[in-house]
Structure 1
Amino acid sequence: MTNIIVGIGENKNILKACDAFKKENKNVNITLVQNDDDLVNAILDNNVDAVIRGSLPASGVMKELKSKFTDISRATYINGDGVEFLLTPVGIDEGRTLEDKLKIAIHCAEFLKKQSKKPKIAVMACGRKGDYGRSDEISKSIDDSEKLTEMIRKNTDFEVINHYILIEQAIKDNCNVIIAPDGIIGNIIFRTLVLVNSWPSCGAVTFGIDNVYIDTSRDQNVEGYLRSLKLAYNLQCR
């Protein structure tokens, strides 16, 4: 029997998703929790196969995990018809330094390799290369994107391309890791693609911990939560 723990907050779509998932998977036991402490305890429990945030708030859970694990990061897994990539950073307080983004890029690429997929990393900036000088903020972002691209090349053997602000080109080029300039922009990209335009997301995969934890949005629909349950189940079965 596979044991999955799911957080329940104000959005009850997660309950409908759990009911649908249990009908399709008779060998799964789903336990519902309603607070951060129980969710964190489940993540740390080796007898639990997978944990899904569901519709609980994220800040308390991530704060607690970051106090226990020094190498933790997240990436939203977007997977639909003809489109598949990890978008990161997506937490508004994540990806603040080049070193943070390098670590996240490596985590994403290693995750894809475990799924027998070849990583292709796109680094993003707040403007095109030709926009340099339009403002100090834009120039710094372009400088940072070029530095990060070089850091990834020097520290890994993964394919990496600096697409600057052209995220549409990164997706057309089938890049399966997209590194946003920072967590705020990454979060806005996620909300625009997934919550506004209904691109299919499986939730955010959490790296740097031993157990499977899928960090989902509080605002997801039933189908989105169902995809997260399927991802968690498939990951713990590997």
Structure 2
Amino acid sequence: MKTIAIGVGKNKNITKALEIFKNRYPIDTKLIQTDDELVKSILDEDIDAVVRGSLPASGVIKEVKKYFPEISRATFVHGEEHEFLLTPVGIDEGTTIEDKLKIAINCGEFLRKLNKEPKIAILADGRKGDYGRSEKISKSIDESEQLTQLIKENTDFEVKNYYILIEQALNENCNVIIAPDGIIGNIIFRTLILVNSWPSCGAVTFGINGIYIDTSRDQSVEGYLRSLIFAYKLAKL
């Protein structure tokens, strides 16, 4: 039988979700109360998956990076209208073109494990025609074009630069959305998931041996339930 470790913090929606989950799926669960326990569970080969739940867990990724320095994350949005990975979502992630290239490759390989073909959208701080409006905007546009080219050169994934037009990327059913940096990615996440209630399964973590699903401390019961089901299905793969 599979074992999933779940972090329990102040938001008790996670325990309500866990009650529903355990009534549906035959699985052992381990409740985690601290960051240190969460890190130990991620590194424990006897635990099949870990879900952050509602723990603050601000130092978890930093600690796990001591063992797996190439960590990156992507939030898996999964609903009737849209299904895509949004990345980077950590405010200190995706700071260089090289970082975003690794993230793009991780996302594409992950989707292929799910028998889905990657269709990657690259975003920037402005439209192509906004070049020159500020140094920051021009730099972001340059980097988005470089990243698009690098993905073409290093993978066989479908990729297109949408610049700032995220709505076009979603309308054209892209299943990987790469934000200009982790701060913008985090804002997009909060707008779509926490404000507009788009269905998120949590953020899958790449670059580690096990399965770690990062979740928001502010999720609903339904949001946590999706993350638990997602972790369970990944553990069964």
TM-score, normalised relative to structure 1: 0.98
Q: Residue 37 of structure 1 corresponds to which residue in structure 2?
A: 36
Distance apart, 1:31 and its partner CA: 1.2
Quote the Cα distance in structure 1 between the aligned partners of 2:58 and 2:114: 28
Q: Residue 219 of structure 2 corresponds to which residue in structure 1?
A: 220
Superposed CA offset, 1:127-167 (max 9, x none): 00001111111111101100100111111111100000000
Gapped regions of structure 2 (runs ≥ 5): none
Q: Residue 60 of structure 1 corresponds to which residue in structure 2?
A: 59
Root-mean-square deviation (CA, aligned residues, Å) is 0.6
Distance apart, 1:187 and its partner CA: 0.1
**Aligned partner of 1:194: which letter?**
I
Secondary structure of the corresponding residue to residue 205 of structure 2: strand
Distance apart, 1:216 and its partner CA: 0.4
**Aligned partner of 1:36: which letter?**
D
Distance apart, 1:82 and its partner CA: 2.2
Secondary structure of the corresponding residue to residue 76 of structure 1: strand
Q: Residue 13 of structure 1 corresponds to which residue in structure 2?
A: 13
**Aligned partner of 1:14: which letter?**
I
Secondary structure of the corresponding residue to residue 117 of structure 1: coil
Quote the Cα distance in structure 1 between the aligned partners of 2:13 and 2:217: 10
Superposed CA offset, 1:29-63 (max 9, x none): 11111101101111111110110000112321100
Aligned positions of 1:22-33 closer than 5 A: 22-25=22-25, 27-33=26-32
Aligned positions of 1:35-184 closer than 5 A: 35-184=34-183
Secondary structure of the corresponding residue to residue 220 of structure 1: coil
Secondary structure of the corresponding residue to residue 65 of structure 2: helix
**Aligned partner of 2:10: which letter?**
E
Runs of 4+ with deviation above 6 angstroms: none
Quote the Cα distance in structure 2 between the aligned partners of 1:101 and 1:49: 28
Quote the Cα distance in structure 1 between the aligned partners of 2:166 and 2:177: 8
Superposed CA offset, 1:162-218 (max 9, x none): 000000000011100000000000000000000000000000000011111100001
Q: Residue 232 of structure 1 corresponds to which residue in structure 2?
A: 231
**Are the aligned partners of 1:52 and 1:229 in contact in 2 as well (CA < 8 Å)?**
yes
Percent of residue pairs bearing the same amino acid type: 69
**Aligned partner of 2:19: which letter?**
D
Gapped regions of structure 1 (runs ≥ 5): none
Quote the Cα distance in structure 2 between the aligned partners of 1:182 and 1:62: 17
Superposed CA offset, 1:47-99 (max 9, x none): 10110000112321100111110221100000001210000000000000000
Secondary structure of the corresponding residue to residue 122 of structure 2: strand
Quote the Cα distance in structure 2 between the aligned partners of 1:2 and 1:215: 19
Q: Aligned pair count?
A: 237
**Aligned partner of 2:97: which letter?**
L
**Aligned partner of 1:104: which letter?**
I
